[in-house]
Structure 1
Amino acid sequence: MKKHFLLFTVAPFALVAPAMAETAPAAPATNEAKAEKPEAQQTPAKKGTEEVFSTGVAKGRDRLDSATSTSALRGSDVDKLSARSIADILRDVPGIRAEAAAGEGMGNITIRGLPIASTGAKFLQLQEDGLPIFEFGDIAYASADTFMRADLSLNAVEAIRGGSASTFASNSPGGIVNFISKTGDTDGGAVQLSAGLDYGMHRADFDYGAHITPTLRFNVGGYYRQGAGPRDTGFDSTRGGQIKLNVTKEFDGGYIRIYGKYLDDRVAAFDLTPVGVTGTNGNADFHNIGGYDARHDTLNSKYFQSLLTLDGNNNVTRDDMTAGQHPIVKSIGLESKFDVAGWDITERFRYADMSNHYMGIYYTQYLPATALSAAFGAPGGTVRYANGPNAGQTVTGLSTLNGNGIAALMLVSDTDMKSLANATNDLRASRVWKLGNADLTTTFGVYGSHQTIDSDWNWATVLSDVAGNGESHLLDVVTATNVKVTQDGTLRYGGPTVGTFRRSFRLGYTTIAPFGSVNYHIGKLAIGGSLRYDFGTANGSIYGSELGAGRVGVGPKDMNGDGVISVPEMQVAITPLARPAPVDYHYGYLSYSVGVNYRIAESMAVFARYSRGARANADRILFGPFVSATTGALADKKAAYDAVKQAEAGVKFRNDNLTLNVTGFWAKADDTNLDATNGQPLVRAYKAIGAEFEGGYRIGVFSLNAGATYTHAEITNDKANAALIGNTPHRQADLIFQVSPQVNTKSFSVGAVFIGTTGSYATDANLLKVPGYVTTNAFVQFRPIDRVTLAVNANNLFDKLAIVGIDDASVPATGVAKGHVLTGRTISGSVRFDF
């Protein structure tokens, strides 16, 4: 199968070569040729003119002529959002719910009431220049946003919600967000120097594009930065950068572009954090605990710099705790468009060699520090500092330790994702046929990808106090007879339960999907439909004692090499390398979408659409009952993919100053998964209905953009727990909204971005209610002279304690909850030089 896939990806180059060979030497571009931008580079036009949108559709069209719900941000808009991550950018897109609590990566992202099934973005696809970052948006510890960065080379962000996203990309039934790079259309560039004014960050960005000849151009851009980052970790947790380059050759009837990217960046993983809570489930009061600020502190520490563990081959190693999230991307791609006998042929190909070493806190359990000895088998014993300046000393004043008296049992997710290599190809051909006064547009294509997942889970469980400013200490528990239950703060070399969370994956997923569409446009009416069929295969092996069948997952091992087997070293989690479990299955599913658009007037259109798509399941259904550990086949063929059905209808209005879009939607989705908090299998169905609004108004120097999404979602079936049927999915708010006013003049710009949500339930049990919030980002730009811009950007200006999620089903007895909280106020200043 892999051989056939490689032949498939090479074939388009054979098509491109003769097309180029038959083209005469390029003459200076005509005005007509210059007017036609490549589809992937089309950006929103000024209000009142044609706005062409090309992501997730057969062919770029004016939005008023397309039966889709779409949004777009220019690169200059993104600069003003004061966003600190990709997920932070997506918070400003109507219909999208982005939980940006984990920093620059591991964002949980969904759309229009579809569930955040585990982590990542299961039903929404993130793309870069028209191709997906990953085939599956919810690979464990490798969400797509981890491998993307926004910098000055970003030209635009396009988002399509529902609609034809089901049929013009695989595994994207909820929608697509496409991050489009600059390609040197306009000669010139910029250099920008930035620094955190109230947090540790120093950054340099650059971008430059130019024409080498009238038909040959290039663009290069990137950044480098270093600093402690937006939260207190006790060390420089942010360090690295990226560089992107593309070269475009235009010719009569098309273009060919070659591009590449190198990303090597380290950022802290600080998603899970302690949050104080009092009151009742229905009226809980969330707040900071003593000595620790959930908005600015983390469970990282300057004293906890490395983790003693076993690597994937069961060899003792020390992994760098300061690495946080360390994605590395080396990618190269080709994009081209050309005419063959009246057909527009578009070819996109990319190979990306990707890896990531994720060091974060996956799970915590908070308890009074006074209870440590009794809780971990040492009644009457003592607690000692395991690291830091007081290492080895007995901890006194446990009840008031660090001002909160709290200790934490922490599961460190040391996940070495050695390869996430992805090869992707999309080849399509479109032609417009004249049928009297009507246009019939036909599109045919074939898509293929191969996604590798090669990773090791080298986890450990440690005990720690909870202190701010990156000054937490690991703790040792010692019995009354001076026997250490822990070793240098490590309670267990593995998961909290013996033999758990010690896993390895050696997997490859191949997808091939032919697709086609027809659109009939006559006068004000356009009717269209599209089909896609996904063929998928999964092959490889997985390792772990949780797969059973005599797979021994623990054993004694002298981890620190002192010649003594301590208590934690008696049952070290070991990967059963001699007993792999196979993964070997295939699947197929049909997606379709039909829509109608009626342009009532030049400035107004109405549309309706019905779609069925699906999301294939990858590593999220392994280590559970869905795949046989003996044969590798599916235990239940329905587990291979989850279907999503959607309907939408709306009205669009646009004139020179005003844009208004209102859409009603309905969706049903299945979800086969493993619960991210407890690992239990999930087989569920969901339903969501709602409406979304997006609008913009501009008059003189003032402009206002706004969006809002109302959603009523519920669990309609749950095979494991029927009591949850009828409940609202966790973290699903009734209303999310965005409001962005700004004033722009020749010499300055000033504005704000207000993003809010109403309350939601912490878990699917619908007991503990988490309050809503509004965060405020703001910016000021001043241009004292031509080509120089001074700016100040603030994220979460009013330092709001914005809780996006709580993992506890009810108010915990300790008064400390497991929280996911947006970062508090961060202010940066920059100077930019354009040339």
Structure 2
Amino acid sequence: MWALLSSLSAMAWSLPAMAGGQDAGQTAAPAAEVEGAQSDIIVTGSARSQRRFDVSYAVNSLSQDDVLKIAPKSFADLLSTVPGIQVEATGGEVQNITRVRGIPTDRGYLIFQQDGLPLYHEIDGVFFNSGEGMNRYDLMTERVEIVRGGPAPIYASSAAAIANNITVSGGPEARGKAQITLGDTGLYRLDAMQSGPIGENTYYAIGGFLRQHDGYRDSGFPSDKGGQIRANLKHDLGNGFVKVSMQYTNDHNLFYLPIPVADPRNPSVSLDPYIDYHTGTMNSPSLRNVNIKYRDGAGVVQGLNRDLADGRHMRFFNVGLQYEGNFNDWLVSAKGGFTKGKSSFDAFYSTTNPVDGNVFAANNLAAARTAFGADVARLGYALAGTNRATPYDPYAASGLVMSGQYRAVESKFYSGQADVSVTRKFETGFGTHDVRAGIYGSAYGNTSFIAYQDMLIEVQSQPRTLDLVAYSATGAVLGSVTQNGVLRYTTTLNQGEADAKMIAIYANDTWEVTDGLKIDGGIRKEWYDYEGFALVSASANLGDPTTLADNATRAFTGAIVSSTLKPSSTNWTVGANYDFNGNLGAYARVSNLEVPPQMGVVSSIAPTILKTKARQYELGVKASYGPAYLYVTGFYTKFDPFNASFIAFNPATGRNDQSVPFIGEAIAKGVEIDGRIKPLRWFELAGSVTWADPQYRNLENSSGADPAAVNGNQIIREPKFFGNVRPSVRFPIGGTEIEVAGRYEWVGRRYVDLFNLTALPAYQTIGASASVTYGDWRFQVVGDNLSNAKGLTEGNPRTDQLGGQGASDAIYGRPLFGRNFRFILSRSW
């Protein structure tokens, strides 16, 4: 893989220019079409290819040129430019949060596809998501189409929205591009792509990327390392085409978790001297050799060595086949794909707030005396790994200590999926009908091994692990609360396997009643068949008398629980579109989405099984005049029933075993605006704005909590207002074209808890880029968060969702990355 990409890189600098600087893989279009936004061709959520202006739902199409101008740090960062999608892009290059129109889940039921099929059927695997966790943007992506609401539930499972990556296909003209990206955060990246003919009516495309990145936060080791390669062969038939594709991805990505930013003893005191707000992290070289102990089903103590620098290591291979043919009035489409891979996950999660060093020691003194005898006079800190020979004084620094949770996860997965559909347009006495009917099926599954354990650390960036040692009055060591920095060995231990089969049938009819008036409706029925098993675990003492760390370790009992489940779901949509003329129109739509329990319920012990439902209402107006456009969509989303339950971290046990069940509704009503104006040939202003009112409604609690104080509150971590504006100017100087662009973003106030006690304050950021294009060459410099603005996302969801953080503004969260720059050099031919 690496040799092939290196060869493509060499071709970038040696081959003669053949395309006059045109972006690789994109078919040349007439100038009028390039200028007109309404000429964007949409294939996602539609029976046939249509202009964006003609469809009756909210959709964006981001071309390679659009992405070049935006220059996103990650796929999530790219999605943040689209209205209606709230993004928390602070977790790193992958593993970020997306929410669609107030849907209160970490993915928002945003389903990713590649050429119309998912790489993995479910939205989440075992600590990997099939969205930006498996889909990485590179030069083999021709464009990304994002459908919000509309017919998304008809054309994908569990979809309130679809992000479809359309890959580059070869054509009769050889084209290519290579790109080098360097960043002041230790980023080195190479992208390359080549396409062209290899025979009569047969074409190829191949490309990918290699990347090494120290990271936006200083962990003491690289954050991202790896790459991917994608390739396809396409043969044009007399009435269609057939296309074979493959992909191999092997990539490590570090996960950034929340950090404490203020002293909980006095929230007005910043912890910035110890953990830099913009670059600090709890990730540390001290966590590169963590030993996880647990007892297996045979009663044998196992030791599992893990390295935090491995991060989230995703390896998978995908092969796909696509066919399309026109037979008189019939359009036949068939596509299939198979993915097989493995994911290893190592991350250090936030748990409780930092604690005063003396208070933490005092809270553990009684347990130490019970375990090691009444001669225990005091507890003191030492640096782990020094055999207690190096004392540690918290008061020489912040005076605080804290615990964090090391999570280790292994999973193997597979997913095969196929879709076959036929589309036919026919005339009736009451207009024209364009009917599409199809069948989709998938067989998929995974194995899982999950182990969590708690570590004791100092409060500073790249923290060292600590031991809390029991001393006698004479200074003799009598035992230790911890062991080699471990506060509690393996507090969570799960293992299981699940397999699934599903089949769906769907149909959609677009009825053109008269010129300008279209009515469409669709339905999708899905049936699932899950089977799996889970190993039972229980608390056990591993028997080491010198430490408390192994007193309540999880152990497999040898028992296995097998489960089966056969859920189903029914999705539907009805919409109407009326175009007053070729430039002005309006549409209305209602969609119903049912999301069945996911496959993981059959590889878990006593899971919560609940089907969630989302009803989306949309009313939009649209205007498009040459390069200028405006799309305004009012939306109303209702989740009923909505499961607001969560499992909170219990600091006494180190387990996520405090259940707080709230069942009711989640409501979001709002307006999203997407527009662009180009009053002058050299000036353009684009942007998107979303206003929403996300709130809880009609919640009920079965454990005695009063839902009255929650109903009507703002949904956790969801703002009422967010958006961005992106001005740009472009002007030629001789044979050189210069473009300068800006990006101003804002996110409104959010809350970390159900009761809206602790806020995540609003924030704004400024970014800019400048590019110079000369012939086939292009150089660009990009700067993000130029003002080093401060802003928090997420909070600390392990502990703060019920009671907040003990302060009006959050003192624990995932901050924005600091000011950073990237330098991009590319050549097209």
* Residues in 2 aligned to 1:76 and 1:245: alpha-carbon distance in whole angstroms: 21
State whether residues 82 and 778 of structure 1, in contact with CA within 8 Å, keep that contact through their aligned partners in structure 2.
Answer: no
2:289 counterpart of 1:296? no
Contact 1:592 1:613 in 2 (8 A): yes
Contact 1:649-1:665 within 8 A present in 2 as well: yes
1:461 to 447, 454, 458: 454
Secondary structure at the aligned position of 1:114 is classed as coil
Of 486, 493, 512, the residue aligned with 1:490 is 486
Tell me how far apart the structure 1 counterparts of residues 810 and 331 of structure 2 sit (CA, whole Å): 60
Greater mean deviation of Cα atoms: 445-454 or 360-369: 360-369
CA distance in 2, matches of 1:675, 1:103: 24
1:84 counterpart SS class: coil
Q: Out of 335, 356, 363, which is 2:343 matched to?
A: 356
Q: Where does residue 830 of structure 1 map in the other structure?
A: 824
Tell me the amino acid that sits aligned with residue 350 of structure 1.
G
Q: Distance in 2 between matches of 1:488 and 1:588?
A: 49
2:511 matched to 1:520? yes
Within the alignment, does 1:792 sit opposite 2:781 as a pair? yes
**What amino acid is aligned across from residue 332 of structure 1 in structure 2?**
V
The equivalent of 1:694 in structure 2 is 674
1:58-86 alpha-carbon deviations (Å, 9 max, x no partner): 32222232211111211222223232222
Residues 1:760 and 1:212: Cα distance change in structure 2 (over 3 Å): same
Q: What is the distance in 1 between the residues matched to 2:600 and 2:434?
A: 39
1:374-523 superposed matches below 5 A? 374-377=362-365, 378=368, 380-387=378-385, 392-401=388-397, 404-417=398-411, 419-435=412-428, 438-468=431-461, 470=462, 472-481=463-472, 482=477, 483-495=479-491, 501-521=492-512, 522-523=514-515
What is the CA–CA distance in structure 2 between the aligned matches of 1:513 and 1:384, rounded to whole Å?
Answer: 59
Which position in structure 1 is the counterpart of 2:712?
Answer: 726
- What is the match of residue 660 of structure 1? 630
Unaligned runs of 5+ in 2: 1-25, 369-376, 650-655
**Deviation sequence 1:493-525 (CA, Å, 0-9, x none):** 112xxxxx2112311232211000111113111
TM-fit CA distance, 1:347: 1.2
Deviation of the 1:394 alpha carbon: 3.9
Equivalent residue number for residue 540 of structure 1: 532
Q: Which amino acid aligns with 1:316?
A: G
Match of 1:768 in 2: 758
Distance 1:605 1:719 in 2: 42
Going from structure 1 to structure 2, the CA distance change for 1:133 and 1:98 (only over 3 Å counts) comes to farther
1:218 & 1:305 partners in 2: Cα distance?
A: 43
Whole-Å Cα distance in 2 between the matches of residues 657 and 84 of structure 1?
Answer: 27
Residue pairs, 1:560-579, within 5 angstroms: 566-576=547-557, 578-579=558-559
Distance in 1 separating the partners of 2:620 and 2:276: 44
1:132 Cα offset (Å):
2.0
Question: Counterpart in 2 of 1:33?
Answer: none
CA distance in 2, matches of 1:804, 1:816: 9
**1:642-653 pair list within 5 angstroms:** 642-653=612-623
- Note the C-alpha offset of 1:666: 0.9
> Per-residue displacement from partner, 1:596-634 (whole Å, max 9, x unpaired)?
10110110111101111112221565798975xxxxxxx
Q: 1:225 to 1:747 in 2, by over 3 A?
A: same
Q: Which amino acid aligns with 1:182?
A: V
1:566 Cα deviation after fit: 4.2
Aligned 8 A contact 1:103 1:271 in 2: no
Whether the 8 Å contact between 1:274 and 1:818 is mirrored in structure 2 is yes
Aligned pair 1:107/2:96, yes or no? yes
1:53 has 2:42 as partner: yes
Q: How many residues align?
A: 752
Displacement, 1:182? 1.2
- Distance in structure 1 (CA, Å) of the matches to 2:326 and 2:143: 26
TM-score by length of 2: 0.86
C-alpha separation between the residues in 2 aligned to 1:662 and 1:316? 57
Asked if the contact 2:759–2:809 (Cα under 8 Å) also holds between the matched residues in 1, the reply is no
Give 3-state SS (helix, strand or coil) of 1:166's partner.
Answer: helix
| Corresponding position of 2:561 | 581
Written as runs of structure 1 = structure 2, the 5 A alignment for 1:135-534 is 135-144=121-130, 145-172=132-159, 174-185=160-171, 187-197=174-184, 199-276=185-262, 288-310=271-293, 315-340=302-327, 342-365=329-352, 366-377=354-365, 378=368, 380-387=378-385, 392-401=388-397, 404-417=398-411, 419-435=412-428, 438-468=431-461, 470=462, 472-481=463-472, 482=477, 483-495=479-491, 501-521=492-512, 522-534=514-526
In the alignment, which of 628, 637, 646 is matched to residue 675 of structure 1? 646
Q: Is the 8 A contact 2:686 2:726 kept in 1?
A: yes
Counterpart amino acid of residue 462 in structure 1: M
**Cα distance, 1:592 vs. partner?**
0.9
Counterpart in the other structure of 1:707: 688
Judge conservation of contact 1:80–1:793 (CA < 8 Å) in 2.
no
Q: 1:330 to 1:322 in 2, by over 3 A?
A: same
State, as a whole percentage, how many aligned pairs show the same letter: 23
CA distance in 2 between partners of 1:623 and 1:653 (Å):
50
Deviations 1:793-821 (A, max 9, x none): 12222222221221334343799833122
Partner of residue 716, structure 1: 697
Q: Hey, what's the Cα distance between the residues in 1 that align with 2:93 and 2:504?
A: 32
Within-5 A mapping of 1:636-647 = 639-647=609-617
Q: Structure 1's 114 and 44: CA in aligned 2 closer, same or farther, altered over 3 A?
A: farther
The CA deviation at 1:590 is 1.4
Cα gap change, 1:392 to 1:228, in 2 (>3 Å): farther
Contact 1:587–1:640 (8 Å) recurs in 2: no
C-alpha contact (below 8 Å) 2:757/2:808 kept by paired residues? no
TM-score by length of 1: 0.85
Q: Distance in 2 between matches of 1:676 and 1:132?
A: 30
Q: How many Å apart are 1:290 and its aligned residue?
A: 2.3
Tell me by how many angstroms 1:570 deviates.
4.3
Q: 1:38-64: per-residue Cα shift (whole Å, max 9, x none)?
A: 9xxxx9953165332111233222223
Tell me how far 1:764 sits from its aligned partner.
1.4
Where 1:303 maps in the other structure, the secondary structure is helix
Q: Deviation digits for residues 619-666 of structure 1, max 9, x if unmatched?
A: 565798975xxxxxxx8xxx4421111111111100113101111111
The DSSP-based 3-state class of the residue aligned with 2:811 is strand
Q: 1:148 to 1:677 in 2, by over 3 A?
A: farther
What are the equivalent positions in structure 2 for 1:25-44 lying under 5 Å apart? none
1:77-121 residue CA offsets vs partner (Å, 9 max, x unmatched): 2223232222111111111011112112221211111112xx4x1
Q: Which structure 1 segments of 5+ residues have no match? A: 1-36, 496-500, 546-551, 559-563, 628-634
Where 1:574 maps in the other structure, the secondary structure is strand
Q: Which amino acid aligns with 1:767?
A: L
SS in 1 for 2:713: coil
CA distance in 2, matches of 1:813, 1:773: 18
1:140–1:730 CA distance, 2 compared to 1 (3 A) = farther
Deviations 1:670-706 (A, max 9, x none): 3347526445355332111111111011231211111
Give the letter aligned to residue 554 of structure 2. A
Bigger drift between 106-115 and 536-545 goes to 536-545
CA contact (8 A) 1:45 1:52 kept: no
Q: Distance in 1 between matches of 2:63 and 2:47?
A: 22
Matched, 1:748 2:744: no
8 Å contact kept, 1:227–1:238? yes
Once residues 589 and 156 of structure 1 are traced to their aligned partners in structure 2, the CA distance between those partners, rounded to angstroms, is 31
**Secondary structure of 1:80 counterpart:** helix
